[in-house]
Structure 1
Amino acid sequence: MIVHINGRPGTGKLTIGTALAERIGARLLDNHTIYNLAFALTEAKSPAFYEAVAEVREIAHRRVLDLPAEVPVVLTDAHFADSAHGRAAWATGAALARRRGCPYLVVVLDCAAEENLRRLQSPGRAGKRKPRDPALYPGITARRPLIREGGDRTLELDVTELSAEDAAAQIADWI
């Protein structure tokens, strides 16, 4: 299966995805694994940035297709319904599941705006090369709608008061 976790920056996708992958014996392909090359070598949100992201995602997805069929994969992303780039990138997850011939399970994480901003600005994000500037993410306070469609099944989970372990346990139980 492919479990695709979508949530605003700072909701805990990587932490929850890591805990979930450990629980279900999955490989984790976090969005920053893909985006960090573009952040390091291009100007954020420039045409070169999006081109680099697409190229790295293509390589990563080829490696996913090389995994044994019984190995689950957890993907994480932060894609909004009103973004053409987000919609195009999101579609690659569903296409990957179809190419792999496996279930595509969508998990949408939500978090109260105040808590989300607190988490976004936490010092631990810097050590993971994650941006911490709220100005880069107007979707947090504007509450832009996240993409939630396309899965064989979809779980919406408010993680405002959940630990990563508790969230991962709820997702694993749902799976």
Structure 2
Amino acid sequence: MLVHINSYPGVGKLTIGRELADRIGGKLLDNHSIYNIAFAVTEFRSPAFYDTVRESRALAYQRVLELPSTTPVILTNWYSQGSSWGEENWDEVVSLARKRNCAHNVVILSCLPEENARRIQDAGRDGMHKPRDPAMVEANRKGRALIDRDADRLLRLDVTGLSAQFAAATIADWPSGPAP
């Protein structure tokens, strides 16, 4: 199975993704595992940055395709509608699910703006080049809806008051477990 978690920065994708991977015995491919190579060696948003992300993503997705079909894969991303970069990356995830011959199970996480602003400022986000500016998140929340197209199954989950463990359990059990 493939579970694709999409949400704005600071909502809890990585934390919930880790819990979910532990719960279902899956492999977690967090968006920063791919992006951090580009952040480390290129200028942000330069042609080299985008090329590096594409090459890192291609290698990571090739390794995903080599996993046994019984190994669940959890992806975390922030892809918004109206962004050509977001749409390109979303298409690659859809293609990965199809090549893996599995359902594209999409989970859209949300939380209240004030909780999102609190979470995004956590100092622990610095180590993975994660954004920490609440104003950036608020601006993106206002003008850019999250992509949710081409989902074989779709779950929208408000995690404002939920623990990561409870959110992961909800995803793992939804409604009778993600479709194989």
**TM norm structure 2:** 0.92
More displaced 10-residue stretch of structure 1: 124-133 or 104-113: 124-133
> Letter of the aligned partner of 1:60 in structure 2?
A
Structure 1 residue 114: Cα displacement: 1.3
Seq. identity, %: 55
Question: Deviation per CA, 1:89-146, whole angstroms, max 9, x where unpaired?
Answer: 0111110011011111000001111111111111111133323234554314x25200
Which residue matches 1:139?
140
Which residue matches 2:157?
157
Q: Does the Cα contact within 8 Å between 2:36 and 2:128 map onto a contact in 1?
A: no
Aligned partners of 1:109 and 1:96: how far apart in 2? 21
> Letter of the aligned partner of 2:159 in structure 1?
V
Residue 65 (structure 1) aligned with residue 71 (structure 2): no
Which residue matches 2:30?
30
RMSD, aligned α-carbons = 1.3
Which residue matches 1:119?
119
Aligned partners of 2:171 and 2:93: how far apart in 1? 18
Structure 1 residue 42: Cα displacement: 1.6
Aligned partners of 1:6 and 1:90: how far apart in 2? 10
The correspondence of residues 1-175 of structure 1 with structure 2, limited to 5 A, is 1-134=1-134, 136-137=136-137, 138-140=139-141, 142=142, 144-174=144-174, 175=177
Aligned partners of 1:143 and 1:112: how far apart in 2? 16
Structure 1 residue 80: Cα displacement: 0.3
Aligned partners of 2:11 and 2:55: how far apart in 1? 26
Q: How many equivalent residue pairs?
A: 174
Q: What stretches of structure 1 of length at least 5 have no aligned partner?
A: none
